[in-house]
Structure 1
Amino acid sequence: MTVPASYSLPEKTVGLKGRVERPAPGTLPLRGDLAHIALAEDFLAAHYVIPHVRQIGPQPVALKLAMRDDADTGATVDAGAEIELLDCAGDWAWIACGPKGPSGYVRLDALAPASDA
């Protein structure tokens, strides 16, 4: 898997700085337990992840707002699009189209096979 070279650890101390509006589900790659590393200076999460670059498989996919087939749908990502894999749980992957989103869940088999590079 490829890791984006453009993401690095925050240079400042990360911590609570006052009230922050929580973004709508399916927008920024931010959950209560995990967030994209690029959001570390603006949002507090228990853990931050440097994503792995992957691609959507041969079919476009709808990003789900939860790990369920019947969950509400957010954005649609085109077949072959480059995405960032943030987390996997069971048959599901939490992905984002970059640190500004959109983000959501897709079935792991919706992703193209990982390259060995």
Structure 2
Amino acid sequence: MIPTGQLSLSGPAEKLDAGHWPVRGDLAHIRLAGRCFVPHYAVPMERKVVSAGAKLFAQNSKDSELRAELGGNSPFNVLDITGDWAWGQVGDDGFVGYVPLAALSGA
């Protein structure tokens, strides 16, 4: 049985800053469950940017908008991997975007 009010609509959706909120149309960070409605929620996989640094892009293409230049050893929380790209967030509250998978080291 679902507790009363747990799944109720409570007004307009929050306005999201796409550059800083780890949410897409199909996936969101698990901490956003209850705040954003998406089909799937992910627990982040903590990684580090390789020592040479990396570029964070708005989309999974080097031709897309550059969101940030990440320094070596910066924390990057991976939420999804597609092909040669990782989608996630810099640390817990930084920019959200795509990093080439080769630019990340293991946990």
- Quickly name the TM-score band, shorter chain normalised: 0.7 to 0.9
What's the offset of the Cα at 1:15? 6.2
- AA partner of residue 86 (structure 2): A
**Which residue in 1 is equivalent to 2:35?**
42
CA distance in 1, matches of 2:14, 2:57: 22
Q: TM-score, normalised by structure 1?
A: 0.76
Cα deviations across residues 46-67 of structure 1 (Å, max 9, x unaligned)?
A: 1100011111111222211111
RMSD: 2.0
Percentage identity across paired residues of the two chains: 35
Question: Which aligned pairs between 1:92-107 and structure 2 lie closer than 5 A?
Answer: 92-107=85-100
Q: TM-score, normalised by structure 2?
A: 0.82
Does the CA-based 8 Å contact 1:95-1:105 persist in structure 2?
yes
Cα deviations across residues 2-43 of structure 1 (Å, max 9, x unaligned)?
A: xxxxxxxxxx94664332244233221110100000111211
Structure with more strand by fraction: 2
**Matched residue SS, 1:109:** helix
What's the offset of the Cα at 1:104? 0.4
Structure number, greater radius of gyration: 2
| 5+ long unaligned stretches in structure 1 | 1-11
CA distance in 2, matches of 1:14, 1:60: 42
Question: Which aligned pairs between 1:14-93 and structure 2 lie closer than 5 A?
Answer: 16-93=9-86
CA distance in 2, matches of 1:15, 1:31: 22
What's the offset of the Cα at 1:98? 3.9
Q: Where in structure 1 do 4 or more consecutive aligned residues deviate above 4 Å?
A: none
Aligned length: 103
